[in-house]
Amino acid sequence: MRSHDHPEKRHMGRPDEHHAAGGDEMKTNPASSHQHSRTNGDDDHSRGHDHGQMVAEFRRRFWVSLVLSIPVLVLAPMLQRLAGLEESLSFPGDGYLQALIATVVFFYGGWPFLRGFWGEAAQRKPGMMTLIAMAISVAWAYSTAVALGLEGQVFYWELVTLIDIMLLGHWIEMRSVMGASRALEALVQLMPSTAHLVQQDGSTREVEVTSLTSGQRVLVKPGEKIPTDGVVVEGRSAVDQSMLTGESRLIERGEGDEVIGGSVNGESAFTFEVAKTGEETYLSQVVRMVREAQESRSRTQDLANRAASWLTYTALGVGLLTLVAWLLAGKGFDFALERMVTVMVIACPHALGLAVPLVVAVSTAISASNGLLIRDRSAFERARELQAVIFDKTGTLTEGRFGVTDVISLAEVPENDVLRLTAGLESQSEHPIAAGIVRAAQERGLDHAAPKRFAAIPGKGAEALIEGRNLKVVSPGYLREQGLEVDDATVRRVAEQGKTVVYVLEDERPIGALALADVIREESREALTRLESMGIRSMMLTGDAEAVARWVSEELGLDGYFAEVLPHEKAEKVREVQKRGLTVAMTGDGVNDAPALVAADVGIAIGAGTDVAIESADIVLVRSDPRDVASIVALAGSTYRKMVQNLWWATGYNVVAIPLAAGVLHPWGIVLSPAFGAVLMSVSTVIVAINARLLKA
């Protein structure tokens, strides 16, 4: 790692130089592809489809069970007595009708939990499914026995409401983890489906990208996506690789230079020779890394499952002990069974089933209203433990667009005049650097004249007549070709900072220079200050040159940075920081950030980035504001505290209620009836719900 205190130099090639945009020479080993994505897409789609079917199943079972629960509640004797409607609502055979409907709810709505119980039993890891299955099975079996003549109290309304709440909780929970497979589908969309294949006679014909083979030549027109990896054999253009590599500058590409499939061609057409296809290409490597990281992700054990496991053993143990104890004490079987069932009902996880999902639902709503979209609950919970946040530079700490940082006068020409004249010349160009210069002039309120006789200098800049003056805006390469030298301390300083420098010439005489760099977001400084106040380290990861990274790091006061990181190395850098024993979040927006986002303990995507980055992340910042990273950490802490409080409410009352249900105070005439046990259980559910609503941002 290169920290701003102890920067390490890496020996890399000089940056390419071209009109207003010298790009870092990327010595990558590209590998990815549209073909590979399509080859593996079916598996990913099927996985996502299966998960989607499970979510749909819980949703469907919830609504059907909820509708069927209404008559069960209306027919419940205890609820009729509480409402004073016992005489008006009861009729002959109502108990059998209630039993029939409740039985349908038990088998239809309760089936996922009964099925889950067998799965947990096979693994010998009892959890929430075991506790739910046990509670609903005991309630149904006992109530059915009572309906058929056994002396006692039916628990049908408790049974159906328990099933409804459990289905709702699991539906909410499963929806929060949807979307992982969509990341790979989004990668496919980066690639064009067709390419312009160059024929032997020089003409072109449109072919499917999947039919391309190594050695064939392909024409790429301005504005088109490059269909696969290759080497330029004819023409020169600037290529936008930012969505793939995170490189903030347009990369000049000419004969002999590599191009990456999925990147976007700029201003000129060029022909390249296909070098890699299928699984060899860069995008396929990204696909593979995202898939592997997703499959190897370790997830924290859910707090509610741990509580359910504990409660399962307690309920089973105390329930059986209660039955045996009262039988040995000489009580009748019906009394002993009623005591045992009361224990089971008290232990029913109504509140436990809602303890976490309700808090998650509330915190998700709060976060969404603040532009924070939570996609993975367990990762969101981990955010409270963060010790380091690694930010991608381009598009995260910076705006991903060029801006003028320095205006330098070289011939006693006022700085505003240098900027005004340059903006006038560039006003008719669509180049990103030109747009940055024009924008800087507008921000300073400088009016500029329209250029006359505008002409591009291929690969070097542009020239025009401005206010009757013959001007050129050129790259350092043009000066070297013409044998011109500029000896200025300020120019040397900004060049050492890795900024792009363009020169303004009048009649071939340098009169000024402009330094441009990726604009640092104003919000970045506040974001890092807030994280520092929380004791969290802030680091930066970038493919840019050492000098650029060092300048940004010094400007923002980062705790450290990684510079000149090749796209496939980003996930490795995240793991390197994790090996120091730190809980790490990664924040980024490009395709190249996707593996790192998944490898991190918490992946945070900038919402203005690619779908791939967003789908690979655990949390999405809709506003593209780095300050929201600190907001996520604060909300995660509040959410976790509220979860713990709810779990105590959901399980803590059992410390008192279960012994009372078992009848420990029976010798003193105090017996907790099953009906009162159900009410007590319901009160805990209400408390949990109210407590969840009290969560604040």
Catalytic residues: 392
Q: Which contacts qualify for 132-137: CB closer than 8 Å, 24 or more apart?
A: 132/162, 132/166, 132/308, 132/349, 132/353, 134/312, 134/315, 134/316, 134/344, 135/162, 135/315, 135/344, 135/345, 135/347, 135/348, 135/349, 136/106, 136/110, 136/162, 136/163
CA dist., res. 645 & res. 194, Å (int) = 57
Q: 384 near 534, Cβ under 8 Å?
A: no
The H-or-E segment that residue 398 falls in is strand 398-409
CA dist., res. 192 & res. 688, Å (int) = 51
**Could you write out the DSSP letters of every residue in 97-159?**
HHHHHHHHHHHHHSHHHHHHHHHHHHHT---HHHHHHHHHHHHHHHHHHHHTT-SS---HHHH
CA dist., res. 48 & res. 50, Å (int) = 5
Q: 236 near 268, Cβ under 8 Å?
A: yes
According to DSSP H, which parts of 497-543 are helical? Answer: 522-533
> In DSSP terms, which residues pair with 472 in a beta bridge?
463, 505
Q: Nearest 5°: CA angle at 465, between 266 and 458? A: 30
Measured from the Cβ of residue 428, the count of other Cβ atoms closer than 10 Å reads: 13
- Cα-Cα-Cα-Cα torsion 604, 606, 609, 610, nearest 10 degrees, comes to 30
Query: SS3 for 179?
Result: coil
CA dist., res. 688 & res. 642, Å (int) = 10
CA dist., res. 672 & res. 680, Å (int) = 10
Two structure tokens written together for 77: 């004797």
- Cα-Cα-Cα-Cα torsion 47, 49, 55, 56, nearest 10 degrees, comes to -160
The Cα-based distances of 172 to 54, 331, 603 in angstroms read: 12, 44, 21
Q: Nearest 5°: CA angle at 553, between 551 and 555? A: 70
**Could you write out the DSSP letters of every residue in 188-246?**
HTTS-SEEEEEPTTS-EEEEEGGG--TT-EEEE-TTPBP-SEEEEEE--EEEE-HHHH-
- Cα-Cα-Cα-Cα torsion 489, 490, 496, 500, nearest 10 degrees, comes to -140
Q: Closest Cα to residue 73, out of 161, 168, 162?
A: 161
CA dist., res. 291 & res. 183, Å (int) = 9
The H-or-E segment that residue 420 falls in is helix 415-426
Q: Which residues contact 673 (CB under 8 A, 6 or more apart)?
A: 153, 342
Angle at which helix 350-369 crosses helix 128-147, to 10 degrees, equals 130
- The 3-class secondary structure across 325-348, one letter per residue, is HHHHCCCCHHHHHHHHHHHHHHCC
Two structure tokens written together for 398: 């910076």
Give me the amino acid identity at 613.
A
DSSP state of 20: T
Two structure tokens written together for 224: 């088109």
Q: Which residues contact 480 (CB under 8 A, 6 or more apart)?
A: none
